[in-house]
């Protein structure tokens, strides 16, 4: 039987992080959060910092910064194309950590690195945690790492006061949700549907029951992602959980709008996501 992951008995954050502080601030304001996913290096390394700052000005409460990977498991076609563009532009984990301080200069929104575990292993777990913290990252989501295999990773991140975020999905048992939540700090990422990322016309019917089950096993904030692409869906998710994560729709906007309209168009798209349902798209 696998040993419990490091710190598994200590549900929730063991330190005061910028992520937990932002959720606390939103709670005091009786607001819910918006997490915006961007692919680092798409459409270029230079553009990433400009877009990041623009979407925060437009109202993003958190940034999920994807590190491109050649063999993704959880990403749908939109994010896969973005990863290919980013790789061609020279984006690597080391390059992302080198440029992150300038990208987030003056940005107070927490930044969560979204990556696969292989680049972290290749980088060196302790070195990655140290460099991520020095670069200004606030948390890490290694999408294909399970809590049972995360002892060394968790220890390294917590020594650097970085939040470790794990996933709970519709196929997770209550025991599995409890395990993921116990290994997490900052928030628990709730996957709204089975399958890969991508824009969807409707939210999954399993979402509300999944959020209720997650609430029963953790006091951490819950952020819901996968398939959220318009203001109506953002508001439904925010009524159920503490934050909505929008990824493929934003990346699609970068793909279609940035070449002609620049970062301002991506900011307009984020403002549209935050508007009341029925508003016209920017």
Query: Which residues have a catalytic role annotated?
Result: 64, 75
- Residue the block writes with tokens 């025991």: 175
Query: If we measure between CA atoms, which residue out of 91, 132, 128 comes closest to residue 111?
Result: 132
CA 58 to chain centre: 17
Query: If we measure between CA atoms, which residue out of 134, 42, 147 comes closest to residue 87?
Result: 42
Structure tokens at 263: 């970062």
CA 276 to chain centre: 23
User: CB 135: neighbour CB atoms within 10 A?
Assistant: 18
Residue 177: strand, helix, or coil: helix
Residue 39: strand, helix, or coil: strand
**Number of residues that this document lists for the chain:** 282
User: Which residues, in sequence order, are CB contacts of 16 under 8 Å at separation 6+?
Assistant: none
Name the E strands within the chain.
33-39, 62-66, 111-115, 139-142, 163-164, 167-168, 188-191, 222-225, 243-246
CA atoms of 245 and 60, how far apart (whole Å) = 10
In Å, the largest CA–CA distance within the chain is: 55
Residue 206: strand, helix, or coil: coil
Evaluate whether 139 touches 164 at the Cβ level (below 8 Å).
Answer: yes
């Amino acid at each position: 039987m696998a040993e419990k992951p490091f710190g598994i008995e200590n549900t929730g954050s063991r330190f005061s992080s910028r992520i937990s502080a932002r959720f606390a601030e939103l709670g005091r304001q009786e607001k819910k959060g918006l997490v915006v996913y961007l692919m680092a290096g798409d459409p270029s390394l230079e553009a990433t910092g400009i877009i990041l700052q623009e979407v925060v000005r437009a109202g993003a409460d958190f940034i999920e910064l994807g590190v491109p990977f050649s063999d993704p498991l959880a990403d749908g076609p939109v994010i896969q194309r973005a990863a290919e563009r980013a790789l061609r532009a020279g984006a690597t984990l080391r390059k992302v950590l080198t440029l992150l301080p300038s990208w987030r200069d003056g940005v107070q929104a927490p930044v969560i690195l979204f990556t696969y575990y292989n680049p972290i292993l290749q980088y060196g777990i302790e070195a990655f945690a140290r460099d991520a913290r020095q670069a200004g990252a606030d948390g890490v989501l290694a999408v294909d790492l399970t809590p049972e295999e995360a002892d060394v990773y968790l220890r390294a991140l917590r020594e650097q006061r970085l939040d470790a975020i794990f996933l709970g999905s519709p196929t997770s048992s209550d025991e599995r949700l409890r395990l993921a939540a116990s290994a997490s700090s900052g928030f628990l990422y709730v996957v709204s549907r089975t399958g890969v990322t991508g824009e969807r016309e409707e939210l999954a019917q399993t979402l509300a029951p999944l959020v209720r089950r997650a609430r029963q096993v953790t006091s951490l904030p819950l952020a819901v992602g996968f398939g959220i692409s318009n203001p109506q869906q953002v508001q439904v998710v925010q009524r159920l959980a503490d934050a909505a994560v929008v990824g493929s729709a934003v990346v699609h906007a970068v793909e279609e709008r940035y070449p002609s309209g620049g970062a301002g168009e991506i900011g307009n798209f984020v403002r549209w996501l935050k508007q009341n349902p029925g508003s016209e798209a920017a």
